[in-house]
Amino acid sequence: MVVPIALVVSALMLVAGACGEGSPSSSPAGSVEDPAGEPVSVSAVDKAYYQSLEEMYRASEIVIVGEVVDFKPGEFAEPSGVHPDESGFLQMGVITVRVDEVLRGRLEGDTVIVERESFMNEGGNLRPLIFEGFRAERVGNDVLWFLERRPGRQDEVYEMVSFDGLLYIEDGVIATHRAGNDTLAHTTSGRPAGDVIAELRALAADPQA
């Protein structure tokens, strides 16, 4: 069954439908249990597009290298819930990242909280959301994320500046989970993580950055 929707969540225009991509694998210890049921696939128009890492770096409030240490359901995508159909609405995931290095900005403490759309809530039952190719976060994921504060929040909660700003470090190289193949994330994917981080450190040392 396909359930078409059109809504704005975190400044993104979404179009969602159910997809049969099989059951998600079991979660590692310490992370939220994978919700049961058929995944819901969501395609989206990005809220910003960047031509280079430097451009995305300059647009970010913070840029971090770290490890996902917790992932759990959070609040609804909007305070009253956003209803793509009669029975369901999108729900945020709350991701805690232990920060190993801050490449831009300043943080209080050694963790950062990031939120992004992660679940479809149907009568209290959570279904996994495949959001523009991104699945539920895994505890233990190594990340290189470009972030900004969520609008309207008084606490320090962040979101991605772009889908391109959610990069992962896998076996020493940069990887992206983003759908498609013609984006900054995909041109960065496959590069040695050390080279990319060194490039960003150079920007951090530049007083004009």
Of residues 90, 78, 80, the one with CA closest to residue 44: 90
Mean pLDDT to the nearest integer, 44-68? 93
CA distances from 113 to 96, 125, 142 (A): 5, 24, 15
| 14: containing domain | 7-204
pTM for the model: 0.78
- Using the predicted structure, report yes or no on whether residue 81 has a pLDDT greater than 60: no
Task: Please list, residue by residue across 37-67, b when 16 or more beta carbons sit within 10 angstroms of its beta carbon and e when fewer do.
Answer: eebbbbebebeeebeebeebbeebebbbbbe
Q: Which helix (H) or strand (E) holds 193?
A: helix 193-204
Residue 68 · residue 32 · CB < 8 Å: no
Dump the DSSP string for 81-139. Answer: ---SSSSEEEEEEEEEEEEEEEEES--SSSEEEEEEEEEEEETTEEEEEEETTB----T
What number is the average pLDDT over the span 185-192?
Answer: 96
The pLDDT assigned to 70 comes to: 96
Residue 25 lies in a domain: yes
Whether the pLDDT of residue 53 is over 60: the answer is: yes
Per DSSP, what are the bridge partners of residue 43?
Answer: 15
Query: How many residues can be counted in the chain?
Result: 209
| 1 within domain boundaries | no
Question: Count of domains in the chain?
Answer: 1
Range of weakest confidence among 81-85, 160-164, 184-188? 81-85
CB distance 174 to 188 below 8 Å: yes
Would you call 186 helix, strand, or coil by DSSP? Answer: helix
Residues contacting residue 77 through CB under 8 Å, at least 6 positions apart: 9, 10, 89, 90, 91, 92, 117
CA distance 166 to 8: 20
Mean pLDDT computed over 60-82: 80
User: For residue 2, is it within any domain?
Assistant: no
- Please state, as a whole number, how many other Cβ atoms lie within 10 Å of the Cβ of residue 167: 26
Please state, rounded to an integer, the average pLDDT across all residues of the chain: 79
Residue 29, pLDDT > 50, answer no
- Residue 15 counted as domain residue: yes
Per-residue pLDDT tens over the stretch 111-128? 999 998 888 888 778 888
